[in-house]
Structure 1
């Protein structure tokens, strides 16, 4: 776990939607509101599916919410015996696979470091090197396994947290439900992570805007679009950035993306990372990992998934905006 997205906070990188063109005769429905973050789900179907969608969404957080002591996740973290539900098992297996693929840059056991730097349950002072080293002893995805329906930890202090893929995975689960109902046109947007399929109500491809991030944490505001993406077919998109969640301590500003390999907030001059992948869970994890990786290891990370597209905004040494993007990203712009 690299980013404390928290269930009460959202990055809001996407704020432009293709017009639905809805009227009284339209079959397009819009379900919008806020649970632990904002959600907006637009779909073309003869009947209202809102009750079913919210049931799925609530079940997701009943399983994975780290702030609910009755959730499956909290019981696992407190070393209580608990029957693991299907959502928890999927989150765990996806996280382990993505941690392995990113070579530990994405890590679902990073929660103690997130809390240490003040992005979790409590605000903390800047930690000492010795304290970081102590906590690193029980951080690492290779120190926890799922065996015979139970979580086995090499150290009882290990804490799991799936917030870095939470919005992406919930998008995928709701999109799968819509697919099962043979819904051909929809946009699922949860906390800024998005899955689209088909067309909007105007018969056009779905369009989303990617905000141009501010250069400096807590000083500038995000107000203009960097690019507009046009999404055809079924597409999953996630964006990560530090500009909406940071801490100020001892005159320093720290972004909320923690590098689990070092134990410190990332310092790579990357402002935001947008990833398009086959599923939103993967896109979410890689967007997070890109924000956390050391600069000299970025290209190595990007090569671990040749199927994804990416659009990375960063600052050069003169604080000029620069772009690093995949070869086929232009087809979405």
Structure 2
């Protein structure tokens, strides 16, 4: 099969299109012919070698934890899927090596959901990691009926989904930080936009009114966003960050590192099919241009998601 892989860590140029052996299909795995693979910040962090302390890494290393495609074959222990099924999945494994930037990927059946026929491949490939991160962060923050929720980086890949899912969970108001060029985008999703920066605390407090506090805050960017959240939430246990786990816990907040869940992913993609959740794909690239896709994402200011098509 053809795949984008690296044999050393570094700049996007270390990624190259290579001919590699087809994946091994274990007893509880599906062999999936990839149609789309989401590109996420974790992908370029793996490329840079930053996650070597968190997971065993092996080269040649194929990045990519988001996949959408067609089942080609199944392992002997798989009973709920068959060849021809269209699926999507968040395919983080215990070892970093055989990811989704490829023509084929072997995926544990517990990590996939069925793709409704009305959901296109690029959207399906963009959804898993970002959608699950957003949902699990909202649940960790205990977001429910009537809440006012602050979402940092609300126009980004995770943030724009969190805005919408918050309403699905019953939130009454969502305030989202974003650059001014994305404020209309957030309004269209139902959020109340505020600019990030030095005036953020005052802007949020003014928007909320009353005691100037929100019920929950989701930090998808780190740094000052987390510090600001400490001053804007009534209960620090309802701050959730995906960035700095140690510092988050030290301040009484919660840290989320996304986990695979076929049930949650099915719920999310069914929302997409029903028109209740919009996945913004800013741009798609063919597989062989994976370096350009990562370069775009690494530069910041991406609205929604970037996807590779195969």
TM-score when normalising by structure 1: 0.24
